[in-house]
Amino acid sequence: MRNRSGISKLVLESIVDEVGLLKKSCQLALKELRHWMAPEKVKTSITIFPSSAAIVPEPLGVVLIISTWNYPYLVSLDPVVGAIAAGNAVVLKPSEISPSTSSLMAKLLGKYLDTSAVRVVEGAVPETSALLEQKWDKIFYTGNGRVGRIVMAAAAKHLTPVVLELGGKSPVVVDSEINLQVASRRIISGKWGCNNGQACVAPDYVITTKEFAPKLVESLKQELERFYGKNPLETKDISRIVNAYHFDRLIKLLEDDKISGKIVHGGEKDKSKLQIAPTLLLDVPRDSLIMTEEIFGPLLPILTVDKVEDSFEVVNSGSKPLAAYLFTNNKKLKEQFVACISAGAMAINETALQLSVNTLPFGGVGESGMGAYHGKFSFDAFSHKKAVLYRIFAGDMPMRYPPYSKEKLRF
């Protein structure tokens, strides 16, 4: 995975998280498409006996898919799989922030797919704005919420339905009743192991109790060092920040006066390599920049509360996140978490992996988006579910036709 300044994303991560997941999507669609396409018979009411009814999926038409840079193949081509499976023609607009993958997709899709059904349009804001002026049968957008609003406003002009796959601040609540080492490793894996935090489902911040925080910080430090060594700026096992703009954006979060003195691990940076060391911050104020914006990078603030249940109020006081994570062995706490927190998806004692389960819908709620895809949900996202009622000529009821006598009304 290259962009203009060299290797951006780890090869292993790209193979597992992009090519691997995409291949799984294609295989599933090929295997299941016959079932997904089959009309679904449904019951009808006795009042219209004899009759039968079915839900028949049909393609929407021509759909526009606008994607982002962080998993440039997966977030571009995974929706394309669903759109083609459902029988649509597709225009794909990859992100200009990953220009090499954008031009490679344009080249390869043009070469290997039917160009009367799938086209790639490369470009940045002007090209995307021009595409958005057209009338589409659906727009599927992955990216930030600010542009999500632009997409939705453009779609509204033509009454075009949208799927918005957005981001947000995904919390990790850590209880003390856990296997601390496994929990720390899984938090690290979902954060720095997922494109160095540049993943929509990466943990954005952690909440734990004041009492447990020192143990958690210590364990995270130990595991970070075990994975990435004493000088993580030298490691070959973390993807780098995508570009200088995003590097500067992250440094601005770190240089906010409100969090001065809060770094408890990391903080080193090297702009020439576009690397920032895995960084832990403890007890940052909730009105600091790092707690009011989606981080989308290698910084992990840890907030503390008196009781673990107090974390629910912290999470619910913000926008609904794309993902919410909980580490605990406490059954009651798991139940409370699932019942009290609203998020696009959740994982208990895990981070990020919910995304790989294609029997689960993948999508946000509230500010983290609308609509969902993956597996059959992708087929559904790009289909219209047409309602069809079948009748025969026998069993016609004169009652339903005028003139309407009092007897007919009584019936």
Q: Give the interface with ligand NAD as residue ranges (CB under 6 A).
A: 66-70, 75, 93, 95-97, 124-125, 128-129, 142-144, 147, 150, 165-167, 200, 294, 296, 322, 364, 369
13, 165, 223, 294: the active-site residue? 165
Of 57 and 297, nearer to ligand NAD (C-beta) is: 297
CB neighbours of residue 132 within 10 Å: 22
Q: Which two tokens stand for residue 361?
A: 């819908």
Least CB distance to ligand NAD at residue 40 (A): 27
Of 265 and 374, nearer to ligand NAD (C-beta) is: 374
Distance from C-alpha of 27 to C-alpha of 9, rounded to nearest angstrom: 25
Least CB distance to ligand NAD at residue 313 (A): 24
Of 296 and 337, nearer to ligand NAD (C-beta) is: 296
Q: Please, what is the angle between helix 21-37 and helix 74-85, to 10°? A: 20
Least CB distance to ligand NAD at residue 54 (A): 32
Question: Helices in 141-288 by DSSP H: which ranges?
Answer: 145-157, 180-191, 213-228, 244-254
Q: How far is CA 60 from CA 63, 187, 271, in A?
A: 8, 40, 46
Of 268 and 293, nearer to ligand NAD (C-beta) is: 293
Least CB distance to ligand NAD at residue 201 (A): 8
Least CB distance to ligand NAD at residue 78 (A): 9
- If residue 89 lies in a helix (H) or strand (E), which one and from where to where? strand 89-93
Task: Identify whether 165 is a catalytic site residue.
Answer: yes
Check: CB of residue 78 under 8 Å from CB of residue 89: no
Of 267 and 318, nearer to ligand NAD (C-beta) is: 318
194, 200, 223, 367: the active-site residue? 200
Of 17 and 175, nearer to ligand NAD (C-beta) is: 17
Task: Identify whether 194 is a catalytic site residue.
Answer: no
Least CB distance to ligand NAD at residue 149 (A): 10
DSSP code string of 206-232: EEEETTTHHHHHHHHHHHHHHHH-S-G
Burial (CB count within 10 angstroms: exposed 0-12, middle 13-18, buried 19+), residue 188: buried
Helices (H) and strands (E) in the chain, counts: 14, 20
Distance from C-alpha of 127 to C-alpha of 66, rounded to nearest angstrom: 11
Q: Please, what is the angle between helix 125-133 and helix 145-157, to 10°? A: 30
Query: What positions carry a catalytic annotation?
Result: 165, 200
